[in-house]
């Protein structure tokens, strides 16, 4: 283990634990943003937890829920409900606008909403690509069950299975349920890797990784748990070049970030059909 990153609490309409970007490290492989959302419940008849329409460039968002549901709408006209176990992959490229809202049934039933929101920085050669959206249902995501662990291979290849989720660069994202006494050694040559402990406690080479912390791994690190845990393995091949972040924008160019902000302020992005409220560019 080369680095242990503690969570920072942020309020985006509900509480999230933010791991990346960190002052200690900006990204792991293509992952440049890692939020653990919730768990949270929302009052019926309110808009608490809704994220109004806002723009992105130069990245792909990956949404994965543990519980509850969210409704995605974007400027391409996509209207998609996401539920636990599914993957939403929205590639912003040259620019996209989207909103994320809580379905009414989730509010009415006081359902707990919890999950992961991540961003993948795009390779420089495709960071200005046409925007796109893809949804993969939970039934499409391959799973593996071994003696002391089970895994959902969300993105990439592992345990002789391959996820159908297509990304712009080599990416690994796996949801592990570790049983008591589990031991696991990741083997993904040429990739940068980290684990996020979503529940429970694990050790890496005997060193404790507490709940809600992100541990950046070294080659041949041994991950173990005594009583069981839920961890997310994430990473991929390193991207070439610098990446800059401003608000919801990621780019290899500071000038592109500034231009994107001006474009949003001046109404230059296509908006989500049927929606009128939006989040202003932070001052």
Instruction: Indicate the domain borders of the chain.
Output: 3-236
Q: Find, among 53, 55, 118, 113, the residue nearest to 89 by Cα.
A: 118
Query: Which pLDDT belongs to residue 142?
Result: 98
Distances from the Cα of 138 to the Cα of 100, 143, 163, 225, angstroms? 19, 10, 11, 26
Query: Which pLDDT belongs to residue 106?
Result: 96
CATH 2.60.120.10 fits 3-236, yes or no: yes
* Stretches in the chain below the pLDDT threshold 70: none
Total-model pTM: 0.97
Q: Which helix (H) or strand (E) holds 255?
A: helix 254-265
Query: Which pLDDT belongs to residue 53?
Result: 97
Exposure string of 79-118, with b = 16+ CB inside 10 Å and e = fewer, is ebebeebbbbbbbbbebbbbbbbbbeebbeeebebbbbbb
35, 227 contact by CB (below 8 A): no
Query: Which pLDDT belongs to residue 15?
Result: 87
């Amino acid at each position: 283990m080369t680095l242990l990153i503690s969570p920072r609490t942020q309020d985006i309409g509900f509480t999230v634990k933010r791991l990346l970007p960190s002052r200690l490290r900006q990204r792991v492989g293509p992952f440049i943003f890692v939020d653990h959302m919730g768990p949270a419940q929302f009052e019926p008849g309110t808009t608490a937890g809704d994220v109004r329409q806002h723009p992105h460039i130069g990245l792909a968002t990956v949404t994965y829920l543990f519980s509850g549901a969210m409704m995605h709408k974007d400027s391409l006209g996509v209207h998609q409900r996401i539920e636990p176990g599914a993957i939403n992959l929205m590639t912003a490229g040259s620019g996209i606008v989207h909103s994320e809202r809580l379905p009414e049934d989730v509010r009415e039933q006081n359902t707990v909403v919890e999950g992961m929101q991540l961003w993948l920085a795009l390779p420089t050669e495709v960071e200005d690509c046409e925007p796109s959206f893809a949804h993969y249902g939970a039934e499409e995501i391959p799973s593996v069950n071994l003696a002391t662990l089970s895994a959902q291979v969300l993105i990439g290849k592992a345990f002789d299975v391959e996820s159908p989720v297509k990304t712009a660069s080599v990416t690994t994202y796996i949801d592990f349920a570790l049983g008591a006494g589990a031991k696991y050694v990741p083997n993904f040559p040429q990739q940068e890797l980290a684990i996020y402990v979503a529940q429970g406690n694990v050790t890496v080479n005997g060193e404790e990784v507490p709940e809600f912390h992100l541990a950046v791994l070294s080659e041949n690190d041994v991950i173990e748990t005594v009583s069981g845990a839920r961890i997310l393995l994430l990473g991929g091949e390193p991207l070439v070049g610098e990446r800059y972040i401003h608000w919801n924008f990621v780019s290899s160019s500071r000038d592109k970030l500034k231009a994107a902000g001006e474009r949003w302020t001046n109404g230059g992005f296509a908006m989500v059909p049927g929606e009128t409220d939006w989040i202003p560019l932070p001052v």
